[in-house]
Amino acid sequence: MANTTLSAEIGRTTGSAASRRLRGTDVIPGVLYGHGMSPISLSVARRDLRVALSGPAGFNTILDLTVDGKSYPAIVKELQRHPVRRTVSHIDFQQINMSEEIVVSVPIRLEGTAKAVIAEGAMVDPAVDSIEIRTTPAAMPNEIVIDITNMTIHDVIRLDQVALPKGAVAVGDPEMAVVTVLTSRVEAARPAAVDPAAPAGDAPAAS
């Protein structure tokens, strides 16, 4: 996975008012941290960040983050968004070592069409849209592909059944449902049949 260059300005002024002023100039305040280093307050241009993360790896893009003339291998660890506009309001970068394991969230992609969808009109229900894995940055995949072709009604693919790239280990409950196949919407919405031998309940009151 090739690294992408992103330039940052060092020494942003701290405080909510200063951060608001930065965001008003289309600059995002942030911080870079990692093992063996003191956190560095910084800021990045919103457009530059958008371009840097526009590749197939998305938010898991490995960056050469240039700060004050020094380059740091890094990934985006956390984004904070404006509660209404949903624009990025703050960003955390984590310095990484390409040979040391990190925990990242990788999006899943379902491949194929489940047998039950074709034969019985069932619904495939992805319970999650990403999976956390532990891997080295060099081996980090852009996505995790899950083949659902052979799934039938009520089948479940658990976390421990997901095929991961070599060297990657899933983080979380191994029994967690990742993908399930449900009965069709029509069948799920159909009211239960009434047993004619069952005693009738009280008549509903007039409204």
Residue pLDDT, tens place only, 4-20: 999 999 865 555 555 55
DSSP assignment of 138-174: GG--S-EEEE-TT--TT-EEEGGGS---TT-EE-S-T
We find that the CATH architecture of domain 4-96 is Beta Barrel (2.40)
Q: For the chain, where do the domains classified as CATH 2.170.120.20 start and end?
A: 103-189
pLDDT value, residue 124: 92
Mean pLDDT of the chain: 85
Q: For the chain, where do the domains classified as CATH 2.40.240.10 start and end?
A: 4-96
CATH code for the domain defined by 103-189: 2.170.120.20
Say if residue 74's pLDDT is above 90: yes
Which amino acid is present at 82? H
Say if residue 194's pLDDT is above 90: no
Long-range contacts of 13-19 (CB under 8 A, 24+ apart): 14/41, 19/89, 19/90
Bridge partners of residue 146, in order along the sequence: 110
Model pTM score:
0.74
